[in-house]
Amino acid sequence: MRKCHRLEREQLLQRPVDAVFAFYADAANLEALTPPFLHFRILTPMPIAMRAGTRIKYALSLYGVPVRWRTLITRWEPGVAFVDEQEAGPYAYWRHEHTFESRGGATLMRDTVDYREPLGAVGQIAHVLFVRRALDRIFDFRRDAVHRLLGGAGPNAAVTAGPISAASGASRQAA
């Protein structure tokens, strides 16, 4: 079996861990965390009850090619962590772990993605040419969106007031 690639990111958010976890536990917020170039849509009817065993279906476009993706929540520990794993989709293997660590009134949120492309050597070439850069671009967008919606660390952090949701963040931007 070929070795997996790993993408790791962490972000300090100026919100308590329960509030940050609640934001991530609402699958409706995923669209706000996904860059527009992916044309991402959740196909599973909302609301989605998140827990171990939950399956979520998505549609997106990778380089103009329509893709269906189905993930399974394999670990669900409220306030601590959850894991989604690809059951069907563009990767030979995909496991995304989200962890949440309290840091006083703030939260250190970590993403760890282990993945492997399909198609053997062709997949490896694709990784070098564009997959890794595309994932970096997607997770950069996600970092910026989370910062905007939940507030990141530092003196210029955009700390939102009131309920945390992608919809309320989007309406504040438009105002």
Per-residue pLDDT tens over the stretch 24-38: 999 999 999 999 999
Instruction: Evaluate whether 164 touches 15 at the Cβ level (below 8 Å).
Output: yes
Per-residue pLDDT tens over the stretch 46-62: 999 999 999 999 999 98
Q: Is 142 helix (H, G, I), strand (E, B) or coil?
A: helix
Rounded CA separation 15/21 (Å): 10
Rounded CA separation 142/15 (Å): 17
Domains and CATH numbers, the chain: 5-170 (3.30.530.20)
Per-residue pLDDT tens over the stretch 67-80: 999 999 999 999 99
Output the pTM of the full model. Answer: 0.81
What is the DSSP annotation of 78-132? TTTEEEEEEEESSSSEEEEEEEEEEETTEEEEEEEEEEE-SSHHHHHHHIIIIIH
Q: Looking at the predicted structure, is the pLDDT value of residue 89 above 70?
A: yes
Rounded CA separation 83/50 (Å): 11
Instruction: Evaluate whether 144 touches 158 at the Cβ level (below 8 Å).
Output: no
pLDDT band for position 129 (cuts 50, 70, 90)? low
